[in-house]
């Protein structure tokens, strides 16, 4: 089950996102501050982070930068009600996978962004594991190579 961290200062909105994403089959952890989110990331590896841009103790960009330094493979979706070209460019420049704008008439855009990021990460993990398996097979370090050698004798 994929682990998702939600960072938003609005408790009602955090609960709404948690309810929706839990209903989609994800395990969700929520945080209301950048500091709390960093502590959560230090305790657990997340498959995705969904972060608001403006927070009481800083900006979501701070968590985005921190995440890219400590866990660069973890995708980050930024959400904001402050839609400006400057905000969007800052999110992309610092490595956000996408930026979703509030308010929403429905949650479909965010649900699609989450599903896309999770699928992309799963695809890369699958490719990585196949690559490692093939590498082990070809270099003679894997069980498949040893079995093949025994069968060929």
Domain locations in the chain?
3-152
Digit-coded pLDDT (tens) for 37-57: 999 999 999 999 999 999 989
Q: Are 128 and 120 in contact (CB under 8 A)?
A: no
Instruction: Tell me the whole-structure pTM to 2 decimals.
Output: 0.79
Distance of CA 87 to the CA centre of its chain: 20
CA distance 9 to 34: 9
Is pLDDT at 133 greater than 60 in this prediction?
no
Once rounded to an integer, what is the mean pLDDT over residues 6-35? Answer: 95
Digit-coded pLDDT (tens) for 86-112: 888 888 899 999 988 887 777 788 889
Q: Are 118 and 77 in contact (CB under 8 A)?
A: no
Q: How confident is the model at residue 149 (pLDDT cuts 50, 70, 90)?
A: very low
Is pLDDT at 14 greater than 80 in this prediction?
yes
Distances (CA, A) of 148 to 7, 104, 151: 50, 56, 5
Q: How confident is the model at residue 128 (pLDDT cuts 50, 70, 90)?
A: low
Once rounded to an integer, what is the mean pLDDT over residues 111-124? Answer: 85
Is pLDDT at 11 greater than 80 in this prediction?
yes
Q: How confident is the model at residue 137 (pLDDT cuts 50, 70, 90)?
A: low
CA distance 8 to 51: 6
Digit-coded pLDDT (tens) for 55-87: 989 899 999 999 999 998 899 999 988 878 888
Whole-number pLDDT of residue 82: 80
Classify 3-152 by CATH class: alpha beta
């Amino acid at each position: 089950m994929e682990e998702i961290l939600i960072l938003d200062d609005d408790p009602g909105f955090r609960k709404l996102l948690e309810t929706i994403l839990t209903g989609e089959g994800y395990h969700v952890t929520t945080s209301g501050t950048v500091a709390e989110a960093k502590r959560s990331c230090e305790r657990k590896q997340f498959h995705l982070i969904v972060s608001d841009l403006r927070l009481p103790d800083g900006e979501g960009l701070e968590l985005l930068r921190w995440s890219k330094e400590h866990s660069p493979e973890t995708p980050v979706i930024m959400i904001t009600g402050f839609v400006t070209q400057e905000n969007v460019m800052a999110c992309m420049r610092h490595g956000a996978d996408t930026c979703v704008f509030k308010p929403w008439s429905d949650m479909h855009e965010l649900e699609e962004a989450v599903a896309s990021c999770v699928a992309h990460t799963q695809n890369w993990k699958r490719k990585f594991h196949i690559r490692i398996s093939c590498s082990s097979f070809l270099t003679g370090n894997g069980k498949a190579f040893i079995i093949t050698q025994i069968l060929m004798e």
